[in-house]
Amino acid sequence: MRPRRLRTPYTILSIVVIAFFYVVPYVTLKESRGLELTLFWSLTTLIWLTITNLLLVRDLI
Amino acid sequence: MSDLLLAFSLMLVAYVSLGSLIAYLSRRYGVKSSKDYFVSGYRLGWFLASMTYAATTYSAFMMVGLVGLTYFSGVGALGFELAYLLVTVVILAVLGPTVWAMARERGWVSPSEMLSDLYGSRAIGYVVVGIYLVAMIPYVTAQMVGVAAIFESLGAGYEAGIVVMSALTLVWTVLAGMWSVATTDAYQGIWMLSAAAALIFSLLYNVVPSSGTTVNQVMSVLSEKGFLSITSFWALPTFLAYTIPWVFFAATNPQVVVRLYVHKDMGSYKKSVVLFSAYGFIYTIAVVCVGLLARGLTELGLFGFVSKQDSVTPTLISRLHPVLASFIYVSILAAAVSTADSIILTVASSFVRDLIEKRGVSGVSVFKLSNTVVALLTIASAYLAYLRLGFVVDLSVLTSVLLLPLAPVTIAAWLAPHESRGRVQRGAALLSLLVGASTAFGFALTLGPRRTFLTSYYGLPVSALILIITSITTLAGYVIPKLVRPKT
């Protein structure tokens, strides 16, 4: 497998995730009063950090 | 002497003694050149590299500022801090390995030297050193002021706080440069995380139950009062004003840029990113939870309203057992020292490499010279903290905005290192830095640093305007040569 082969798709997806990180709370979750916003920010970060670290350690990005 | 002051004094002695022993022992790694002194000769293992990155990044702002910000503004503070972490880890994963490899290949020691080399321009290096001085010294001063205020509130005296903080910053740096800073950072990073964990457990299993309520009731009242939603404080321009300068932290702040060079190999680099991600996530969640729990208790009438943002943590700590309170107070000192010594070491590296070594000045002992510059910067920061100059302390709020023009200039050169040395690219980068930094500083002088931070034009904060202007200017430098290149 060619090292860092997923770098470009990963970078594009990262930009999408970061954009969602800003857009979703101000568009979809603006009126939510429960734990939705807390969970959205926490889980988005946790999931993307996990994916990033897995790809990094396996030399795919 | 109160129980708290006695417990704090004993805890401080323990913290200083163990930290000093660690710093002294780190001398065995040997410091023979400026490369050893400032970047550990590129020999740091993954644990030290990640812990020094974390302890340097997370300053006293977390336990004091972020707790208070959450208390006043709700869960938006979590979004702000996690946005930083998310983007930082992406930058570390995508760009970090390239920077690490280039640093070893080209022998970079300071971040200004890196930019100077990437653009083939000494002038850029000098401008960057100037920006670091204006932006970073107020930041170190603010850390010292924060620690001194804690000493004062405990009855130990404001001046004593400055003396302890500056002495630790100085001694733990000059003993072995990056080695003593990294080893003490690891020690302090563990202390900081342990204290945050101890505080959150104490709140959950002691303070909340003993107040006659439950976590569920706290969460219900937070939800009811809107603290789990986007409050009016976190209008989009404010969220942008907070996050834009911080998401580029990994590329603009010299003390973390230099930490991309230090790993002994790529395996160590990758493991350090993993550990930093985990550390940052856990620490952020813990600190935000503290702020939310404090606010919930206030809303339930079980914890008096705290009117000043920076007083939330001290007021909360005052309800804990003196030993636990002292443990947390010392963790705030640790966070401040670990950030301050890293900044001073890095700013000193820019002085020594760009202004002295690169100019061919010889016959000077690098070790003595570096230690002298570190001492001068520490004394200058301590003196400013002692004077309590409002403008200087306020200017620390703008540190990340003042450094923001470095973001497009740095990232563009990291992405296209083979193009960055062109005449047009160099000129555009220099123009970006000068225009961006003078715009930020001009706003700070006219509006004041705090107002500048939150002022918006057409829904865009000043930081966004600076980022747009400098990005366009920098990008133009890379695009124009391609457009005007004669076809062969």
Percent helix, strand, coil in chain B, to 5, is 80, 0, 15
Confidence at residue B392, expressed as pLDDT on a 0 to 100 scale: 67
Nearest residue in B to A32, CA atom: B229
State the ipTM, two decimals: 0.96
Nearest CA-CA partner of B328 in B72, B2, B4, B1: B4
B27 secondary structure, DSSP code: G
Interface residue of B86, B218, B233 to substitute, partner A, most A CBs within 10 Å: B86
Q: Are B432 and B121 in contact (CB under 8 A)?
A: no
Rg (CA), chain A: 14
Cβ within 8 Å, pair B281-A37: no
Query: Phi and psi dihedrals of B94, rounded to 5?
Result: -85, -45
Do B79 and A53 count as a contact with CB atoms less than 8 A apart? no
Determine which helix (DSSP H) or strand (DSSP E) holds B51, and give its type and residue range. helix B46-57
Spatial separation of the C-alpha atoms in residues A50 and A46, rounded to whole Å? 6
DSSP A28: T
pLDDT band at B448 (very low <50, low <70, confident <90, very high): confident
B-chain CB neighbours of A35 within 8 Å are 219, 223, 228
| Residues of B in Cβ contact (< 8 Å) with A14 | 90, 94
Q: Which residues have C-beta within 8 Å of that of residue B437, sequence separation ≥ 6?
A: B127, B130, B131, B134, B402, B405
pLDDT at B465 over 70: yes
- At B358, the pLDDT band (50, 70, 90 cuts) reads confident
CB contact under 8 A, A57 and B274: yes
Which residues in chain B are closer than 8 Å to A45, comparing Cβ atoms? Answer: 82, 85-86, 281
Residues 6+ apart with CB under 8 A from B105: none
Q: Distance between CA B66 and CA B290 in Å, rounded?
A: 9
| B304 φ/ψ sector (left φ>0, alpha ψ -120 to 50, else beta) | beta
Q: How far apart are CA A57 and CA A3, in angstroms?
A: 11
Identify the DSSP state of B318.
Answer: T
A51 touches chain B (CB under 8 A): no
Q: Closest-CA residue in chain A for B271?
A: A57
Is residue A33 less than 8 Å (CB to CB) from chain B? Answer: yes
Cβ–Cβ contact A8 with B under 8 A: no
Instruction: Quick: pLDDT tens for B233-244.
Output: 999 999 999 999
Least confident segment among B102-106, B137-141, B260-264: B137-141
Q: What is the DSSP string of B436-469?
A: HHHHHHHHHHHH-HHHHHH-EETTEEHHHHHHHH
> Best of A56, A58, A59 to disrupt the B interface by mutation (most B CBs within 10 Å)?
A56
Q: How confident is the model at residue B488 (pLDDT cuts 50, 70, 90)?
A: low
Q: Which helix (H) or strand (E) holds B215?
A: helix B215-224
Q: Pick from B81, B218, B230, B411 the residue to mutate for testing the A interface (most A CBs within 10 Å).
A: B230
Q: What share of chain A is helix, strand, coil (3-state, %, to 5)?
A: 70, 0, 30
Contacts of B224 in chain A (CB under 8 A): 33
Contact yes or no for B377/B344 (Cβ under 8 A): yes
Residue A1: pLDDT above 60? Answer: no
**Closest residue, chain B, to A58 (C-alpha):** B270
- A32 touches B: beta carbon within 8 Å: yes
pLDDT at B363 over 80: no
Is 90 exceeded by the pLDDT of residue B388? Answer: no
* Rounded Cα distance, B79 and A37, in Å: 9
Question: Phi, psi at residue B44, to the nearest 5°?
Answer: -75, 140
- Tell me the mean pLDDT in the region B128-154: 91
Q: Looking at the whole model, is its pTM more than 0.80? A: yes
Mean pLDDT of B205-225: 95
Q: Estimate to the nearest angstrom the gap between the alpha carbon of B265 and the chain centroid.
A: 25
Per the listing, tokens 């306020």 go with: B394
Measured between beta carbons, the chain A residues lying within 8 angstroms of B82 are 21, 41-42, 44-45
Average pLDDT over every residue of B346-368: 79
Least confident of B186-190, B233-237, B349-353: B349-353
Nearest-angstrom CA–CA distance, B6 and B468: 52
The yes-or-no verdict on residue A33 having pLDDT over 90 is no
DSSP H helical segments within B95-157, as ranges? 96-106, 111-119, 122-153
Contact B86 A18 (CB under 8 A): yes
Which residues of chain B does A53 touch, with a Cβ-Cβ cutoff of 8 Å? 89, 93, 273-274, 277
Q: Closest Cα to residue B262, out of B464, B113, B99?
A: B99
Mean pLDDT computed over every residue of chain B: 93
Token code pair at residue B464: 């966004």
- Cβ-contact B124, B285 below 8 angstroms: no
Interval B114-139 mean pLDDT = 94
Contact criterion met (CB < 8 Å) for B79 and A25? yes
Which amino acid, one-letter code, is at B103? A
Q: Measure the CA–CA gap between B387 and B299, rounded to whole angstroms.
A: 38
Contact B228 A10 (CB under 8 A): no
